[in-house]
Amino acid sequence: MTTTDTNVEATGRVAIVTGGSRGIGRAVSRRLAADGLAVVVNYADDTASAKETVSAITAAGGRAIAVQADVADEAAVTALFDRAEATFGGVDVAVNSAGRLALSPIAELDLSVLDALHRTNIRGTFVVAQQAARRLRTGGSFVGFSTSVVGTQFPGYGAYVASKGAIEATTLVLARELRGRDITVNTVAPGPTATELFLDDKTEEQIEALAKTPPLERLGTPDDIASVVAFLTSPEGHWVNGQILRANGGMV
């Protein structure tokens, strides 16, 4: 099913943000809401964080609901888009920030960890992208998430960059497949960003070293990444299509 733009003026623009309850996803949800979009905050299992994100948005005068769904489950993601359409009238923006990280040397990697990582990062991206391709209204945008480690190639990140490299490889393919629909497809690849996921299990020395790696000599913030997503999904960013944007302060 393809949804047209007939209801955009009546309902305003609407965004689904997967993994929208914490970290970068929360910052994206709040930024898009501040820019006037109604936001469907998707989460996997942290109901409390999702409610906190929605409360922060509504307290600031925005519109938001929280909807639980496993991004790798096609029935759940279909229901997620159904809920967005039923509540707000349609979907204009889909941001797939849900992801999983696992670090291990390739020789020591538990393959069950690899399977779980790829289920969320690769299959999840495909499932969300499928619904976005079928249901985004004219003038809409899909944004996926990769990582700048695809370029830096740090040891221990083999499984993670393999999953994110797959997302990068499909970005332009999907953009071309949506020819004639006026829908953009881009992927944001953050560098070191100060989220709980990034800071967990790192020493102060490791964090300081990573912060000094970019020429701007600091870690990114979730708001830095949210600003990039806001641009890509705005009318001002609509000429950017099929691209990988490395939002990393100048890393390779």
For 214-242, the pLDDT digits (tens) are 999 999 999 999 999 999 999 999 999 99
Minimum mean pLDDT range among 1-5, 139-143, 215-219: 1-5
Q: Where would I find the beta strands (DSSP E) of the chain? A: 14-18, 38-43, 64-68, 93-96, 141-145, 184-188, 244-245
The pTM is what? Answer: 0.93
Q: Which of 81, 142, 145, 160 is catalytic?
A: 160
- Name every residue whose Cβ is closer than 8 Å to that of residue 4 and which is 6 or more positions away in sequence: 137, 138
Which amino acid is present at 80? L
- 57: pLDDT strictly greater than 90: yes
Q: Can you tell me the distance from the alpha carbon of 131 to that of 136, in angstroms, rounded to the nearest whole number?
A: 8
> Which two structure tokens, joined as six digits, stand for 166?
């797959």
Q: Can you tell me the distance from the alpha carbon of 1 to that of 188, in angstroms, rounded to the nearest whole number?
A: 27
CA-nearest of 215, 190, 214, 10 to 95 is 190
Burial annotation 203-222 (CB, 10 A radius, 16+ → b, else e): eeeeeeebbebbeeeebbeb
- 9: pLDDT strictly greater than 80: no
Q: State the CB neighbour count (10 A cutoff) for residue 2.
A: 10
- 199: pLDDT strictly greater than 70: yes
> Which two structure tokens, joined as six digits, stand for 89?
């009238």
pLDDT band at 78 (very low <50, low <70, confident <90, very high): very high
Domains and CATH numbers, the chain: 10-245 (3.40.50.720)
Per-residue pLDDT averaged across 25-35, rounded? 98
CB 24 within 8 A of CB 190: yes
Per-residue pLDDT averaged across 190-212, rounded? 87
- Is position 160 annotated as part of the catalytic site? yes
pLDDT band at 200 (very low <50, low <70, confident <90, very high): confident
Q: What is the widest separation between alpha-carbon atoms in the chain?
A: 55
Q: Can you tell me the distance from the alpha carbon of 228 to that of 117, in angstroms, rounded to the nearest whole number?
A: 25
In three-state secondary structure terms, 15 is strand
In three-state secondary structure terms, 70 is coil
